[in-house]
Amino acid sequence: QILGKAYAVLSDAEQRAVYDEKGTVNEEGEALRGERDWREYWRLLFKQITVKDIEDFEKSYKNSEEELADIKTAYVDFEGDMDKIMESLLCVDYTDEPRIRKIIEKAIDSGEVPSYKGFVKEPKRKKMARKRRAEKEAREAEKTKDELGIGGEDDLKALIQSRNKDRQKEMDDFLAQLEAKYGNNAKKRRKKTAAKKGKK
């Protein structure tokens, strides 16, 4: 809230001018009344991510130096456990595993990373279990996508907006319940305090 108020003052030319000149702010001003559209504020700080942005990032990330470093780091961190390596890497699915394995094998051969038994002698059944699990997840994701009617980017936006509205309604209901439960008590306490002061 404090950061929000500071931003509200600094981003408003009139409020900023008053603050620069007098070192004070108008607490009753519109900028500080708590009526800010926080979604709009968030959008000022961070641009909206689209499906195309994700696809573009994936294209630039795959086979990049950054991905190569991430693969080596994950390999060392998880001591060659391919289950954990595949779960932690960005922009990969089970079809990427042969490519990831080749990168790791090359790094082992060149001495860049140690040779872990969990990777070099991974049981075949573990590989097959990982593949089956990944294929099942992919089928479930596709099924969910069809059920939700998500096709293009516009559909995805509509789904996100719909969920945001649902969350907003849930939050409003929750706040209304809190106000109903505690609001009256708070008012009564304030009245009692005022009454005591009046008696003094």
Asked if 61 and 8 sit in the same domain, the reply is no
Does residue 155 belong to any structural domain of this protein? Answer: no
- What pLDDT score was predicted for residue 89? 95
Asked if 23 and 84 sit in the same domain, the reply is no
Asked if 69 and 96 sit in the same domain, the reply is yes
- What is residue 78's DSSP assignment? T
Does residue 94 belong to any structural domain of this protein? Answer: yes
Sequence-ordered list of residues with C-beta below 8 angstroms from that of 76, at least 6 positions apart, any chain: 113, 114
Q: How many residues does the chain have?
A: 200
Asked if 61 and 36 sit in the same domain, the reply is no
pLDDT of residue 176 exceeding 70, the answer is yes
pLDDT of residue 111 exceeding 90, the answer is yes
- Which residue among 97, 122, 147 closes a domain? 122
Does residue 159 belong to any structural domain of this protein? Answer: no
Number of continuous H segments (helices) and E segments (strands) in the chain: 11, 0
d(CA 105, CA 135): 24
- Which residue among 122, 141, 169 closes a domain? 122
Name the residue range of residue 26's domain.
Answer: 1-45
- Residue for token digits 């009344």? 33
Q: How many structural domains does the chain have?
A: 2
Asked if 37 and 67 sit in the same domain, the reply is no
Does residue 30 belong to any structural domain of this protein? Answer: yes
- What pLDDT score was predicted for residue 54? 87
- What pLDDT score was predicted for residue 70? 97
- Residue for token digits 């309604």? 169
Does residue 146 belong to any structural domain of this protein? Answer: no
Sequence-ordered list of residues with C-beta below 8 angstroms from that of 120, at least 6 positions apart, any chain: 80, 108
- What pLDDT score was predicted for residue 56? 92
Does residue 194 belong to any structural domain of this protein? Answer: no
d(CA 127, CA 16): 61
What confidence tens digit (pLDDT) does each residue in 124-174 have? Answer: 999 999 999 989 988 888 888 777 766 555 555 666 666 666 667 777 777
Does residue 22 belong to any structural domain of this protein? Answer: yes
Asked if 75 and 92 sit in the same domain, the reply is yes
Q: What percent of the chain clears pLDDT 90, i.e. is strictly above it?
A: 38
Does residue 174 belong to any structural domain of this protein? Answer: no
85 or 46, which is more confident?
85
Mean pLDDT of the chain: 79
Query: 74: pLDDT confidence band, cut at 50, 70 and 90?
Result: very high
- Other beta carbons within 10 angstroms of residue 49's beta carbon come to 9
pLDDT of residue 30 exceeding 60, the answer is no
